[in-house]
Amino acid sequence: MSKETKTRERSDRGPRSVDTRTERPAPQAQKERDRPWLMRTYAGHSTAEASNELYRRNLAKGQTGLSVAFDLPTQTGYDPDHVLARGEVGRVGVPVSHIGDMRRLFQDIPLEQMNTSMTINATAMWLLALYQVVAEEQGADLTELQGTTQNDIVKEYLSRGTHVFPPGPSLRLTTDMIAYTVSHMPRWNPINICSYHLQEAGATPVQEIAYAMSTAISVLDAVRDSGQVPPERMGDVVGRISFFVNAGVRFVEEMCKMRAFGRIWDRITRERYGIENPKHRRFRYGVQVNSLGLTEAQPENNVQRIVLEMLAVTLSKDARARAVQLPAWNEALGLPRPWDQQWSLRIQQVLAYESDLLEYGDLFEGSKVVEAKVDELVEASLAEMGRIEEMGGAMAAVESGYLKSQLVSSHAARRARIESGEEKIIGVNAFEGTEPNPLTADLDTAIQTVDPAVEARVVGALGRWRDTRYQPPFNHPRPCKALEALKEAAKGDGNLMEATLECARAGATTGEWAGALREVFGEYRAPTGVSSAPVAVPAEAGSALAGVRRKVEVTARDLGVGKLRFLVGKPGLDGHSNGAEQIAVRARDAGFEVVYQGIRLTPEQIVDAALAEDVHAVGLSILSGSHAQLVPDVLERLREAGAADIPVIAGGIIPNADAEQLRAAGVAAVFTPKDFDITGIIGRIVDEIRNANKLDPLEVPA
């Protein structure tokens, strides 16, 4: 509302009854305020140049730290011209392929004065090396560099899917980074233990605490046992371990969770590692509040969700986040625009600078309610940590599939509560009536779009880099020598950071660095947790699932097969597999034979599997925005193979305009986050199978 409008409204109400001669009370003396937390916005897209411009604009608006989003090829160790990078370049983050890209990303941003968080895991060592080299070129003192590399590979196996190497080599890369930074970059956080993504994968507060703490124990044990850090410096290691935590909308429980985290961390570091300095034992964490909990339906409601979730990690001084980044209200619709990110930044600034929150001590000290809840969370989390310890620790619990199956089960149970209405989501399964939303009146302009031509430009620039890196003005030595040295180091047991730095200086690319280590370490496909997940929604007589089961059985009989077969595919590099897993589990419970091979498949592999398994339908799940390229690719390959009659269903964060284009291309149905009724989705898939096979529509009473 403009200033003029406000003035006019005030005039319309008549004069205010104010005696202007009355003296105003003298203002109270300004209370001493705590320093606000670091305020960040998770950002990056298209190109290094475009992201650099965005960062400088955000800093000018009062953002106090950077949070770099890398695109999926960068996160998974592929160059933009790799077959798996198709449709993914610059979509969910910035592509960084070599030192030239990193220079452009931070041009005119003095790194010695910056606190930079980088969401990067499997390739964390590589990106930190590029960052260090750019800082050196700027003349920065490495001992003054501040920031964080996320670098928690366990949660990648469980929830986010940007892992590359097996657990053992991955833990070695993390250990080497920690040992290196303690000696050379003492103010840098070399790892960020992430429970954030665990919650998005379905973790309860107890699981979130227990799995994150078990991961931290695995990391600290590995550093201690590596011999790279003297025992007297373990305090320095512990003092640089940070955490990245999720905050959901149940903000009382979430606030108690943070206090429980701090209590358990203090106990572990004191008792297990003998850390006496309380500063080293402090639970240091940053937060992004829950992105996947934001809704596509009535997205304006996401603003109050974001505020409540922020309060959970800021209200309690004794458990306050050190850094906060908030998603934008429209993230369930697509990529936020700069204005949307500014709105989220302003939410933080209003709380920090306009309210009196930072003038007081802890608001919950002595609360019986809070203490009882914290005690409950601590006790249950320690018990679950004990079970993981008995299995051999977090890495063993990953490889056995235990952690993944537990998360899939918890997520399935939550989805069942939402579908039944037991857990209410405003605008989704409760209070669904709404006035027209002016924020989304034009959906095509309500989100940021990435120019499809960006990928070709980035690939072209990479080709020019490879062709000219040996010549002026670059004058890099041939990177082959540096890459061979990296492979030799990987075959031994020495620290890999120096060899990685040489690759960065030599002009090697992200794909070349990761490819060299793939040759030595191999790759890893994590357990999916689908086959071992228990039934979350029983098919009781008269239930919706019982009706769908009957439709599956009748359709299988009509087609003359024992069971309907359904392939769930994750094309491209999108590793957020939660939705795909829940569809796969519910389809299994509805009587389908489900083919699900996990993440990171090419369209060719998906079509080959569909033909080999003789499936009756293909479901494709993509959250990264690459649906516009990859889904039509699958359709075309099915047509070329003579299997155009297999219906293809697409799901993910798919804008309306894109959904229309997919349907026009031949997709049978498109589902987005607003479609929360999974049993209903499975029923619709059966309908599409019947339609594709020219069977009469089947109405089975639920």
> Looking at the annotation, which residues are catalytic?
42, 196-197, 570, 574, 576
In the block, residue with structure tokens 């399964």: 429
Q: What are phi and psi of 699, to 5 degrees?
A: -105, 115
Q: Which residue has the tokens 């051999």?
A: 392
Q: Are 692 and 646 in contact (CB under 8 A)?
A: yes
Report residue 143 as tokens: 């001992």
Residues in a beta bridge with 594: 566
Sheet of strand 115-119, all strands in order from the earlier edge strand to the far edge: 42-43, 66-69, 115-119, 146-149, 188-189
- C-alpha to C-alpha distance for 273 and 684, rounded to whole angstroms: 55
Tell me whether the omega of the peptide bond preceding residue 697 falls within 30 degrees of 0, making it cis: no
Distance CA 51, CA 104 (A): 9
Cα 606 from Cα 646, distance rounded (Å): 13
Handedness of CA 386, 389, 395, 399 (dihedral sign): negative
Query: 119 has which bridge partners?
Result: 69
Which positions ≥6 away from 136 have C-beta within 8 Å? Answer: 142
Instruction: State the Cα angle at 217 between 212 and 222, rounded to 5°.
Output: 130
Structure tokens at 17: 């009854």
Q: What is the DSSP letter of 354?
A: I
Cα distance between residue 584 and residue 412, in whole Å: 11
* Alpha-carbon gap, residue 123 to 128, rounded angstroms: 9
Collapsed DSSP state (helix, strand, coil) of residue 286: strand
| Backbone φ and ψ of 543, nearest 5° | -80, 165
Length of the chain: 702
Q: Which helix (H) or strand (E) holds 612?
A: helix 603-612
227 by Cβ neighbours in 10 Å (0-12 / 13-18 / 19+) ranks as exposed
Contact in structure between 302 and 294 (CB atoms under 8 Å):
yes
Distance CA 379, CA 387 (A): 13
Widest pairwise Cα distance in the chain? 92
CB-based burial of residue 485 (10 Å sphere; 0-12 exposed, 13-18 middle, 19+ buried)?
middle
CA distances from 498 to 138, 184, 481, 490, 491 (A): 20, 11, 14, 12, 15
Strands 669-671 and 648-652: parallel
CA distance 29 to 18: 26
Task: Tell me 94's DSSP state.
Answer: B
CB neighbour list of residue 362: distance below 8 Å, 6 or more residues apart = 316, 317, 318
DSSP 622-646: E-SSTHHHHHHHHHHHHHHTT-TTS
State CA 302 to chain mean position distance. Answer: 18
Q: At residue 437, what is the residue type?
A: N
CB distance 184 to 129 below 8 Å: no
Integer-rounded Cα radius of gyration of the chain: 26
